[in-house]
């Protein structure tokens, strides 16, 4: 059986070329369970409005239940002639319960309000599932941090040695960024959980259907306030895609570091065999493909967002067929994160950190110069002067090829009257790190507090 939802006013069917262009079942079929839920809710609201008898409602719900089972088992799939998921499911229902009852379901709804609702429902579920996987990455980062509570590493700005920090502090910095992404989806959900069902094509329904009861049935918090907005807007999809792209970018920044850290030059980490790949020609190679794919897929996620925004730009209200282009980029973002996140959490969880190497490099590049300047400030020296003096220490050390801690008492006196051997108390990595003990700093006590806070936040989500 072929079903068209709009044949009446046409003398002939669509050309093959139009049908091929128009078709969306190859990507929108994943919305089928949501379309069926929408149909059940719609049948009930038709019944409440007195437009569907008790008996017809039973037949309709039975038919939808059977169809749902067949969709789940794969016994019912879209046919060649089905334009989209809505058309296919309508055909399935008509095949099961006949047109006399089945033909009543379309009253008071349009694919325009249907698809806008289903897409929201699907994305709300996906946001929850993907958030769980983002939290797995957060947990893997926090677990690694817990394994190395006291390990120092060179903290960098401009990729140059800046100040020593704890490895745990650095790893937890990535965790906070990802946690904010999860929060973004939680915030987003408040806006996404309104139901366009009842908006009809654009103007609302004349049949006395209660959109609030449908919204409630579908687990949404309320119906939309404006039927035109309900059918025309896709900012919920764009916002979802932004968060997906942001997750991609946050993972990509972590990935870039893992790639650098795994080089012979850095030598900070070794990747587990299960999360690295070899080369087809170079037998010695062990490549950080998971991290590279994370970095690459971030570009793709940004592209998905940009593509969607470009499709939306300039569209007049209300529904335009361009809006069918809203789904593939967002589905691609969902699918991308679904394969990427478990690989990244696995990679992070199985990293082996070379703590001796990290510790050895932590004080290099005169990374304790700021500690000298701040020691001088505590001695009562204005920071401008302190900065000059510490800079002079670096200049002297650099010219002699020694470290700041190697400056003798004489050297200190020669550089500045303000310097005396007491400065050596801050010229150690543990001393420097422990001194940065204000809220949010890298001191071990603060980092441990932060870890407890992160674990609390993960458990609360």
Q: Which of 26, 73, 158, 439 is catalytic?
A: 158
Q: Give the Cα-Cα-Cα angle 29, 35, 36 (nearest 5 degrees).
A: 110
Cα 48 from chain centroid (whole Å): 40
Element (H, E) at 254: helix 235-261
User: How many whole angstroms separate alpha carbon 339 and alpha carbon 259?
Assistant: 19
Cα within 13 Å of Cα(293), Cβ side: 16
What x-and-dash track marks residues 106-125 binding ligand ARG by CB under 6 A? Answer: -----xx--x----------
Q: Give the Cα-Cα-Cα angle 76, 79, 82 (nearest 5 degrees).
A: 115
Output 155 or 200, the one with its CB closest to ligand ARG. Answer: 200
User: How many whole angstroms separate alpha carbon 344 and alpha carbon 8?
Assistant: 53
Task: Establish whether 158 is a catalytic residue.
Answer: yes
Output 40 or 234, the one with its CB closest to ligand ARG. Answer: 234
Task: Establish whether 453 is a catalytic residue.
Answer: no
State which of residues 26, 158, 313, 321 lies at the interface with ligand ARG (CB under 6 A).
Answer: 321
What x-and-dash track marks residues 291-320 binding ligand ARG by CB under 6 A? Answer: ----------------------------x-
User: How many whole angstroms separate alpha carbon 322 and alpha carbon 313?
Assistant: 10
Residues 18-57 that bind ligand ARG (CB under 6 A): 24
Is the separation of the CB atoms in 116 and 199 below 8 Å? yes
Output 110 or 252, the one with its CB closest to ligand ARG. Answer: 110
Output 321 or 384, the one with its CB closest to ligand ARG. Answer: 321
Say whether residue 323 binds ligand ARG (CB under 6 A).
yes
Residues 226-265 that bind ligand ARG (CB under 6 A): none
Cα 179 from chain centroid (whole Å): 10
State which of residues 35, 82, 84, 113 lies at the interface with ligand ARG (CB under 6 A).
Answer: 84
Output 10 or 157, the one with its CB closest to ligand ARG. Answer: 10
Say whether residue 9 binds ligand ARG (CB under 6 A).
no
Element (H, E) at 3: none
Pairing verdict, β 160-166 and 152-157:
antiparallel
Residues that bind ligand ARG (CB under 6 A): 24, 84, 111-112, 115, 319, 321, 323-324
So which residues are the catalytic ones? 158, 279
């Amino acid at each position: 059986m072929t079903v068209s939802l709009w044949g009446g006013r046409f003398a002939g069917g669509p050309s093959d070329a139009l049908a091929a262009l128009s078709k969306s079942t190859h990507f929108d079929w994943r919305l089928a369970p949501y379309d069926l839920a929408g149909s059940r809710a719609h049948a009930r609201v038709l019944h409440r409005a007195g437009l569907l008898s008790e008996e017809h409602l039973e037949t309709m719900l039975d038919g939808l239940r059977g169809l749902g089972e067949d969709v789940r088992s794969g016994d019912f799939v879209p046919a060649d002639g089905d334009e989209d998921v809505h058309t296919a499911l309508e055909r399935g229902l008509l095949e099961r319960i006949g047109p006399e009852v089945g033909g009543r379901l379309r009253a008071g709804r349009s694919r325009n309000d249907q698809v806008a609702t289903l897409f929201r429902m699907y994305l709300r579920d996906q946001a929850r599932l993907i958030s769980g996987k983002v939290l797995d990455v957060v947990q893997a980062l926090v677990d690694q941090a817990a394994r190395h509570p006291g390990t120092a590493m060179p903290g960098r700005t401009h990729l140059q040695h800046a100040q020593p920090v704890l490895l745990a502090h650095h790893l937890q910095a990535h965790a906070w960024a990802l946690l904010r992404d999860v929060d973004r989806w939680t915030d987003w959900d408040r806006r996404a959980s309104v139901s366009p069902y009842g908006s009809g094509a654009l103007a609302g329904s004349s049949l006395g259907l209660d959109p609030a009861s449908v919204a409630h049935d579908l687990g949404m918090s309320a119906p939309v306030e404006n039927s035109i907005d309900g059918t025309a807007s896709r900012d919920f999809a764009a916002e979802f895609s932004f968060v997906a792209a942001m997750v991609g970018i946050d993972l990509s920044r972590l990935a870039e570091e893992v790639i650098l850290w795994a080089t012979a030059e850095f030598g900070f980490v070794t990747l587990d065999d299960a999360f690295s790949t070899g080369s087809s020609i170079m037998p010695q190679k062990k490549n950080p493909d998971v991290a590279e794919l994370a970095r690459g897929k971030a570009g793709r996620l940004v592209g998905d967002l940009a593509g969607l925004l470009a499709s939306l730009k300039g569209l007049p209200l209300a529904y335009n067929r361009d809006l069918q282009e809203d789904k593939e980029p967002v589905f691609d973002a969902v699918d991308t994160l679904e394969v990427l996140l478990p690989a990244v959490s696995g990679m992070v969880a199985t990293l082996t950190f070379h703590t001796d190497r990290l510790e050895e490099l932590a004080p290099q590049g005169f990374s304790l110069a700021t500690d000298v300047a701040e020691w001088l400030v505590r001695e009562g020296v204005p920071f401008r002067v302190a900065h000059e003096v510490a800079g002079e220490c670096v200049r002297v050390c650099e010219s002699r090829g020694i470290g700041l801690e190697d400056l003798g008492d004489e050297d200190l006196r020669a550089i500045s009257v303000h310097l005396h051997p007491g400065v050596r108390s801050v010229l150690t990595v543990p001393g420097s790190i422990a001194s940065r003990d204000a809220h949010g700093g890298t001191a071990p006590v603060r980092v441990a507090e932060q870890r407890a806070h992160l674990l609390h936040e993960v458990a609360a989500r």
